[in-house]
Amino acid sequence: MKLSVYISACSLFICTLLTNNLFAASINYQTPFEKAQWQFSGDQFGCEINHRVQRFGTFQLIASPGEALTLSLRADWLSLNNTQSQAAVVPPSWQAKIQQPIATTSLNWLGSQALAQHDTNPFLEALEQGLTWQVSIATENSGYQVSSSPVATQTVANQFKICRQQLLPKPFSYLRRLELKFASSSSLLSPAHEQDLYAIHRYLQADPSIVEILIDGHADASGERLANLVLSKARADEVKSRLIELGVPPQIIQTRHHGNRAPVASNTDGAGRQLNRRVSVRLVKSAKSSSLGASK
């Protein structure tokens, strides 16, 4: 019994020693402070901070309309799949001999890029406080430690925060085709509808390539056919009126109503009827903009 405990203890010691040696032997990448640069770019469609890590790749912090803050590490020469690496906020090397993480998140690798969209806000705060981003990467044969150089980061952090406040509520990928669901026998707009219609208004202000808004009203098959046709028109007209109130030019809006003639689900159950009580709103870009791939 004592012998087996002794062997287990020795095995644990050897494994710990090997693990420590592996991380001690990690190859470190960090741009010298005198060469470090942080670059900001952004508008209403997105905000981005870039920081080049010499001989490895690029750190990015990205804010997009309606999405969580994204932390990215793009490698120049390393490619991994189905692998996670830990990213951490740590004090700069001159502040602490042992760099205990202040915040962490997991990066998921897909080829040459690793991304995280959870627990990422501390990485923006780190720039304001002059802290370091650090990513530990373990592969079958090697270990790498990639660190940012926290030099003159407050300015880009402030620019990024201002840009983020001015982002559009939703991206075109969300707004290009909306399905607004309605209560039974009702054409009243819900708070969720109001948010989506306001987002359309904001997007049109930012992107002049939108030339048409197509609105189609629908109803489920409950009740009489003529009543459903009238109800679908009321729903489409309500959406159009609200967009005009927000400032959308009426000449670019086209409405149609279909009653219960175009269901997207079965009308034999409540769940299907709920899906059929809808107004679809579609944004159409100019042909020139579409051919150039100019969707935002």
Supply the CATH number for residue 133's domain: 2.60.40.2540
Domain that holds residue 201: 172-291
In terms of domains, do 67 and 120 share one? yes
Per-residue pLDDT tens over the stretch 209-258: 999 999 999 999 999 999 999 999 999 999 999 999 999 999 999 999 99
In terms of domains, do 154 and 228 share one? no
Of the three residues 98, 130, 165, the one that is the final residue of a domain is 165
In terms of domains, do 132 and 193 share one? no
In terms of domains, do 134 and 235 share one? no
Q: Is residue 272 part of a domain?
A: yes
What is the C-alpha separation between 79 and 90, in angstroms, rounded? 25
In terms of domains, do 145 and 125 share one? yes
In terms of domains, do 76 and 117 share one? yes
172 pLDDT above the threshold of 70: yes
> What per-residue string of b and e applies to 76-93 under the rule 16 or more CB within 10 Å gives b?
eebebeeeebebbbbbbe
Q: Is residue 15 part of a domain?
A: no
> What integer best gives the mean pLDDT of the chain?
90
**What are the structure tokens assigned to 21, written together?**
């040696």
pLDDT in the model for residue 174: 97
Residue bearing the bigger pLDDT, 266 or 2: 266
Of the three residues 108, 136, 165, the one that is the final residue of a domain is 165
Number of domains within the chain: 2
22 pLDDT above the threshold of 90: no
pLDDT in the model for residue 11: 43
Per-residue pLDDT tens over the stretch 78-93: 999 999 999 999 998 7
pLDDT in the model for residue 15: 38
Residue with tokens 């693990």: 19
Q: β-strand 278-285 against 210-217: which pairing, if any?
A: antiparallel
The answer to whether the CB of 71 falls within 8 A of the CB of 107 is: yes
The DSSP output letter for 101 is -
**Furthest-apart CA pair in the chain: how many Å?**
88
In terms of domains, do 196 and 146 share one? no
**What are the structure tokens assigned to 116, written together?**
């995280």
Q: Is residue 9 part of a domain?
A: no
- Beta-carbon neighbour count of residue 9 at 10 Å? 10
What is the C-alpha separation between 295 and 172, in angstroms, rounded? 7
The answer to whether the CB of 60 falls within 8 A of the CB of 124 is: no
In terms of domains, do 107 and 187 share one? no
The DSSP output letter for 140 is S
17 pLDDT above the threshold of 50: no
pLDDT in the model for residue 140: 87
Per-residue pLDDT tens over the stretch 38-74: 999 999 999 999 999 999 999 999 999 999 999 999 9
Of the three residues 123, 143, 165, the one that is the final residue of a domain is 165
Residue with tokens 């470090």: 36
What is the C-alpha separation between 110 and 153, in angstroms, rounded? 28
**Residue 263: CB partners within 8 Å, gap ≥ 6?**
218, 220, 221, 272, 276
The answer to whether the CB of 217 falls within 8 A of the CB of 236 is: yes
Closest alpha carbon to 175 in 141, 208, 198, 151: 198
In terms of domains, do 183 and 119 share one? no
Q: How confident is the model at residue 99 (pLDDT cuts 50, 70, 90)?
A: low
In terms of domains, do 151 and 50 share one? yes
In terms of domains, do 157 and 261 share one? no
The answer to whether the CB of 180 falls within 8 A of the CB of 218 is: no
Helices (H), the chain: 2-24, 121-129, 154-165, 172-175, 191-206, 225-246, 270-276, 287-291
